[in-house]
Structure 1
Amino acid sequence: MRGTVIALGGGGFSMSDDGASLIDDEILALSGKERPSVCFVPTASGDAEGYCRRFEDAFRGRAETSVLSLFCREPWGYSDPQLLLEQDVVYVGGGSTVNLLELWRRHGLPEILEHAAEQGTVLAGISAGMNCWFDSSSTDSFGPLAPLNDGLGFVPGSACPHYLGEALRRERYLGWVGSGALGGGYAADEYAALIFKDGVLVDGISEQPGRQAFRVEPDGSGSAVEREIPLRLLS
């Protein structure tokens, strides 16, 4: 896929007490617009109303906001997914990666999102909203952490959000990549994000000191190795 993808291992307005986030500021800047149109896609959370309100509060006054509700939640109701083609930024929230992917496919979002990205729309997302862009991922959609080989494939390889912030994320991901249950890929800590252009990593950013991200690959002996990705500290 041609276009820009920003994969948040954690952070953004979702994990901010007051909605302020330097990563979100960077996402808006990458749109190249003074007041970009930003659509929040909260499918993975079941279009949770509180989550949608947090988004609107965080971006009010600096972006034209909208919410794509596939669950027809009030007050937003159902919107034609073609709305995404009119956005400068599409921001995908966290929740269940499996549920997100299934519902998106039923509503035709993969093709729409790919077309939007090719036209210049920035695709961003946290947690499940990180996982969805990759070939595969580490997910807790089924309860216990498990490998999922069913992503959109906009970015090649696998993904693991919350890498250092949640118990067992690192251990399980290293094991799955080492065993071949997941292909090599990218792991991002809380408050860190990776930026891809046309499927290639071009930058890594963090909104807190000491945060990390890694390229994780099998070593050929049943284990996996980490290569730390330099992150640019935002200020």
Structure 2
Amino acid sequence: MERRVALLGGGFSTDDDGLLDDWMLGQVRAPRPRVCFVPTASGDAPAYVDQFLAAYRSRACEPGVLQLFRRDLDDDDLRTFLLSQDVVYVGGGNTANLLAVWRAHGVDRLLREAFDRGTLLCGISAGANCWAEGSHTDSFGPLTHLSDGLGLLPGSVCPHYDSEPGRRSSYRAAVATRALPAGWAVEDGVGALFTNGRLTDTVTCTPRARLYRVEPDGDEGVRERALPSRLLVPGDGPAEGRPG
């Protein structure tokens, strides 16, 4: 069974073209994949949920939402619901809060089970951070490291590598000092697919955006390597139901 994670540097909440969403859906073999949006990191913000539903109801999929701050499923129904999904798409917000709430409800264990069964796990910002062993985050205010992820993706993740002041230098410092393990820095506009822990596809909807491999190098040094990526254009991914 393939175990897959997709890191997104964009999508329905930030982009108008829908290219990363179409690319992500194109990784699923089901003709109408079931896509569950999990907005825990934003406190289940209603506007975020509405934005997801507006974007995905127009696509060739069956969208759903798991809200934990207004949970209406018992443990058995929660397990049945999550394990029936083809895609779990986690939204942005506070990574530390996300992980704490998931663990309180047992969602972390269910996501591991779904992952082992072949569900594609993906997300943006906090929704990318959560899958790795550790991540770079502003969950506590200032930029810092969080060595407390689910560990489904080996290493660490840093989102917004090119768009938020201080991200690049702070993440590089965390990797150089081994506060975080070597990992993946995601610029806005990038999508990266990992299969069984190995990078198998990298795409971008922004010509200059890149995915970087960042590794410690010597005594508190760091090595940063930009990885090749395919430029997405309209027509990539599922054609049916694309907005516009």
Verify same fold: TM over 0.5.
yes
TM-score (norm 2): 0.90
Residue 103 (structure 1) aligns with: 101
Q: Distance in 1 between matches of 2:35 and 2:130?
A: 18
TM-fit CA distance, 1:111: 1.7
| Contact residue 71 and residue 78 of structure 1 kept, 8 A | no
What is the CA RMSD across the aligned residues, in angstroms? 1.3
Summarize deviations over 1:45-99 as a string: whole Å, max 9, x none.
0000000000000011321111100000xxxx53343111001111000000000
Task: Give yes or no for the alignment of 1:54 onto 2:51.
Answer: yes
Residue 240 (structure 2) aligns with: none
Summarize deviations over 1:155-186 as a string: whole Å, max 9, x none.
11011000011110001001111111111100
TM-fit CA distance, 1:128: 0.2
Q: Percent identity?
A: 50
Partner SS for 1:104: helix
What stretches of structure 1 of length at least 5 have no aligned partner? none
Task: Give yes or no for the alignment of 1:146 onto 2:140.
Answer: no
What stretches of structure 2 of length at least 5 have no aligned partner? 234-244
| Contact residue 2 and residue 199 of structure 1 kept, 8 A | no
Note the 1:1-235 alignment, pairs <5 A.
3-8=3-8, 10-17=9-16, 20-61=17-58, 62-72=60-70, 78-79=72-73, 80-82=77-79, 83-235=81-233
Which amino acid counterpart does residue 214 of structure 2 have in structure 1? V
TM-fit CA distance, 1:101: 0.3
Q: Distance in 2 between matches of 1:218 and 1:190?
A: 23
Partner SS for 1:94: coil
Q: Distance in 2 between matches of 1:102 and 1:96?
A: 10
How many pairs were matched up?
228
| Contact residue 40 and residue 66 of structure 1 kept, 8 A | yes
TM-score (norm 1): 0.93
Once the two structures are overlaid, the 10-residue window that deviates more, 154-163 or 27-36, is 27-36
Deviating 4+ runs (over 6 angstroms): none
Which amino acid counterpart does residue 50 of structure 1 have in structure 2? A
